[in-house]
Amino acid sequence: MVTYTYEPLADYAIGVDVGGTKINAGLVNAQGEVLCMVSLATLAGEVRTVDRIQQAIHEVIAEAQSLGPDLFLKGIGVGSAGQIDWASGSIRSASDIIPGYAGTALKDILHEHFQLPVIVDNDVNVLALTEKHLGAGRGVEHFLCLALGTGVGGALVVDGQLVHGAWGGGGELGHISVDFRGIPCVCGGIGCLEQYASGTSIARRMREKLARMGIADDSVDTREVFARWHAGDLAANELMQETLSALGSAIASFIHMFNPALIVIGGGVAEAGDHLFTELRKEVARKTMPAMLDGVRIEPAYRGNWSGMIGAALQLWE
Ligand SMILES: [Zn+2]
């Protein structure tokens, strides 16, 4: 039987990153260093996700015990896929990727089970904490994060604090419309940023474009689009200009709304590299009021491993 002790001033917390395919859990200190960790397949649809989360936490505690017999923990921080009711720490909605997860009172269940303080937030909000403590956001009071992956996630930090909104859904920056006559979005909106700037949408639009040109190629993925773009391929260049235009419009709007000092761009699309950042900075400059643009940095996200899990744990020191 593994034992652990709650200690409010402890220098360690457990961070858990819950995604559709993997759950990463680790012992993290106040500096964001990972002392040990485990990674489990989520097995969504096969096993209750909350049971899988508990298993991951038990395994980390067991692992941590082997490092030293007296483990003092500050608590458990979770960064989870889905929309999170921040005050209650419950899953308000989740996509079909994790069946049966919506409605889970995650904070209450984990608190009951482990008798430790628990904080639950969404996966992009906790990434913003990683930026604040370890990444480009160090020492920056006002910044926002865009995670360009399967979808487009966002997080907003104002006065050094995450903006949660009325119940925790604040910062859904992927669903700002960049074209009110544009592509219909899964959310019910029209022309959402996500439809142009997610990795999924970049690959899909490229395949559609190639099909229209009579050279259908279903194997084209996001990485292939970037490779073609860097090689000077015309179709890929047109496609990426549209992507940059959408991103630039959205970021210009965010700058006018929030007056941030920094925009952090992460997710798979950020791996398109310097070319993307150089072009994006120009595009944003074209669309932003000069006085508002002054001093705004656009930087890639923290690249260390396990950034979601680290940010999840860092919630305990917020
Ligand atoms: Zn949308």
Q: How far is the CA of 108 from the centre of ligand 1 (A)?
A: 30
Q: How far is the CA of 117 from the centre of ligand 1 (A)?
A: 34
For the four alpha carbons of 108, 109, 111 and 115, in that order, the dihedral sign comes to positive
Q: Which fold has domain 5-129+306-317?
A: Nucleotidyltransferase; domain 5 (3.30.420)
Q: How far is the CA of 89 from the centre of ligand 1 (A)?
A: 24
The pLDDT tens digits of the residues spanning 122-164 come to: 999 999 999 999 999 999 999 999 999 999 999 999 999 999 9
Q: How far is the CA of 139 from the centre of ligand 1 (A)?
A: 32
Q: How far is the CA of 49 from the centre of ligand 1 (A)?
A: 26
Q: How far is the CA of 134 from the centre of ligand 1 (A)?
A: 30
**How many C-beta neighbours within 10 Å does residue 181 have?**
7
Q: How far is the CA of 247 from the centre of ligand 1 (A)?
A: 14
Q: How far is the CA of 146 from the centre of ligand 1 (A)?
A: 14
User: Where do runs of H (alpha helix) occur along 115-233?
Assistant: 123-134, 194-197, 199-212, 222-230
Q: How far is the CA of 187 from the centre of ligand 1 (A)?
A: 4
Residue 6 binned pLDDT confidence (cut-offs 50, 70, 90): low
> Cβ neighbours of residue 199 under 8 Å, at least 6 residues apart?
148, 149, 150, 222, 267, 268, 269
The per-residue pLDDT for 138 is 97
The pLDDT tens digits of the residues spanning 181-218 come to: 999 999 999 999 999 999 999 999 999 999 999 998 99
Q: How far is the CA of 186 from the centre of ligand 1 (A)?
A: 6
The per-residue pLDDT for 269 is 94
Q: How far is the CA of 227 from the centre of ligand 1 (A)?
A: 27
> What does each C-alpha distance from 314 to 35, 121, 269 come to in angstroms?
14, 11, 25
User: Which one, of 254, 312, 300, lies nearest residue 148 by Cα?
Assistant: 300
The per-residue pLDDT for 1 is 39
The pLDDT tens digits of the residues spanning 34-68 come to: 999 999 999 999 999 999 999 999 999 999 888 77
Q: How far is the CA of 195 from the centre of ligand 1 (A)?
A: 7
Q: Hey, where are the domains in the chain?
A: 5-129+306-317, 139-300
Backbone angles phi, psi at 152, to 5 degrees: -125, 115
Q: How far is the CA of 148 from the centre of ligand 1 (A)?
A: 14
Answer whether residue 305 shows pLDDT above 90: no
The pLDDT tens digits of the residues spanning 229-256 come to: 999 999 999 999 999 999 999 999 999 9
The per-residue pLDDT for 5 is 65
Q: How far is the CA of 63 from the centre of ligand 1 (A)?
A: 41
Answer whether residue 307 shows pLDDT above 70: yes
Alpha-carbon gap, residue 287 to 96, rounded angstroms: 36
Q: How far is the CA of 179 from the centre of ligand 1 (A)?
A: 11
Q: How far is the CA of 105 from the centre of ligand 1 (A)?
A: 26
Report, at the CATH architecture level, how domain 139-300 is classified: 2-Layer Sandwich (3.30)
Q: How far is the CA of 239 from the centre of ligand 1 (A)?
A: 20
Identical fold, 5-129+306-317 and 139-300: yes
The per-residue pLDDT for 23 is 97
Q: How far is the CA of 104 from the centre of ligand 1 (A)?
A: 24
Q: How far is the CA of 200 from the centre of ligand 1 (A)?
A: 14
The pLDDT tens digits of the residues spanning 289-299 come to: 999 999 999 99
